[in-house]
Amino acid sequence: MKANYGYHDGSGDFFITIDSNLCTGCVECISSCPADVLEMITDDYDDVVAAVKDEHRKKIKYSCAECKPVDEQPPLPCVAACEPGAITHSW
């Protein structure tokens, strides 16, 4: 299941998407995140998966600002750290 964290406003979409079917719970994304945006949660299926912390969901554009890539390079640290490819983003 894909969980979308973020929001849409007049200037665009700002979402991080985590696919719980691909997440192995390795916590590599959490160690890679310079802004302490991510945490591990137990989802509705009792799987331990990565998620965006509540306090960052409505301000992800700002929380993740220091990682914002130019022309998709370099990839976001959390995306690069996720070997199974469970994390994607749109903004």
Q: Which residues bind ligand SF4 (CB under 6 A)?
A: 16, 18, 23-29, 32-35, 37-38, 50, 63-64, 67, 76-78, 81-82, 84, 86-87
Q: Look at residues 42, 37, 41 and name the one whose alpha carbon lies nearest to residue 14.
A: 37
Structure tokens at 22: 């691909």
Minimum distance from CB of 89 to ligand SF4 (Å)? 7
Residue closer to ligand SF4 by CB (options 11, 16) is: 16
Alpha carbons 48 and 41: distance in angstroms, whole number: 5
Least distance to ligand SF4 from the beta carbon of 11, Å? 17
Here the tokens at position 6 are 């973020």
